[in-house]
């Protein structure tokens, strides 16, 4: 981590009764700095918290908001929950993969898009739902996705 995030991490450590309780907030600092969690940072965080690398890895593998590889500028998460599945979520994922030339849970070569399928985005009443960089997009259609992709490629995503 850079010096500023190391300082912030040290402050976080003082906010918790147990050092290991600061793990998730510190991992967020790392993810914010690098865009993902690099291997070397896993070891640094483990040492800072006086926990094993395996413990940090177990948390990283559980939470889908942490990434071990760089993601695209636009992280598109497609809900796979039952409501979204029944209302076309799988079709939306296939559409994105075809349009972007990606395999499942991949990133475009230009680094613009990453598509991930996630188990539930907890907005069942508005299915199908996607998230783009943690912003919910309810009742999404193929046309909505095509418009979003076009605008993102043109660098105009304010209305997407």
Tokens coding 64: 């889908």
At 159, is the pLDDT very low, low, confident or very high (cuts 50, 70, 90)?
very low
CATH number at residue 25: 1.10.10
CATH number at residue 99: 3.40.30.10
Q: What is the enclosing helix (H) or strand (E) of 74?
A: strand 74-79
Structure-block tokens of residue 19: 């050092």
**Confidence category of residue 160, pLDDT binned at 50, 70, 90:** very low
Angle CA(151)–CA(100)–CA(134) in degrees, nearest 5? 60
Same domain flag for 87 and 149: yes
Rounded to the nearest angstrom, the gap between the alpha carbon of residue 101 and the centroid of all alpha carbons in its chain is 20
pLDDT digits (tens, 9 = 90+) for 117-126: 998 899 999 9
Q: What's the structural domain count of the chain? A: 2
Domain final position from 20, 38, 62: 62
**Do both 92 and 129 map to the same domain?**
yes
Question: Where in the sequence is the domain holding 120, given as residue range(s)?
Answer: 74-154
Residue 159 lies in a domain: no
* Residue that is last in its domain, among 15, 37, 62: 62
How confident is the prediction for the chain on average, in pLDDT?
92
Asked whether residue 16 falls in the same domain as residue 43, the answer is yes
Claim to verify: residue 80 and residue 138 sit in the same structural domain: yes
Task: Identify whether residues 84 and 143 lie together within a single domain.
Answer: yes
What's the pLDDT at 157?
Answer: 57
* 132, 83: one domain: yes
Cβ atoms 95, 110 nearer than 8 A: no
Write down the pTM of the prediction: 0.77
């Amino acid at each position: 981590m850079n010096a500023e995030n190391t300082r912030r991490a040290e402050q976080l450590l003082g906010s918790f009764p147990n050092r290991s309780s600061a793990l998730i907030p510190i991992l967020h600092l790392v993810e914010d700095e690098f865009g993902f969690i690099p291997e070397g940072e896993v070891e640094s965080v483990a040492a800072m918290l006086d926990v094993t690398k395996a413990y940090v890895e177990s948390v990283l593998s559980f939470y889908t908001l942490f990434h071990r590889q760089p993601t695209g500028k636009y992280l598109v998460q497609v809900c796979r929950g039952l409501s979204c599945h029944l209302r076309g979520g799988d079709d939306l994922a296939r559409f994105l993969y075809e349009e972007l030339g990606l395999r499942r849970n991949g990133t475009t070569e230009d680094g613009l898009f990453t598509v991930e399928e996630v188990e539930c985005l907890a907005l069942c009443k508005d299915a199908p739902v996607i998230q783009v960089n943690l912003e919910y997009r309810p009742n999404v259609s193929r046309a909505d996705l095509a418009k979003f992709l076009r605008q993102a490629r043109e660098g105009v995503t304010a209305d997407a």
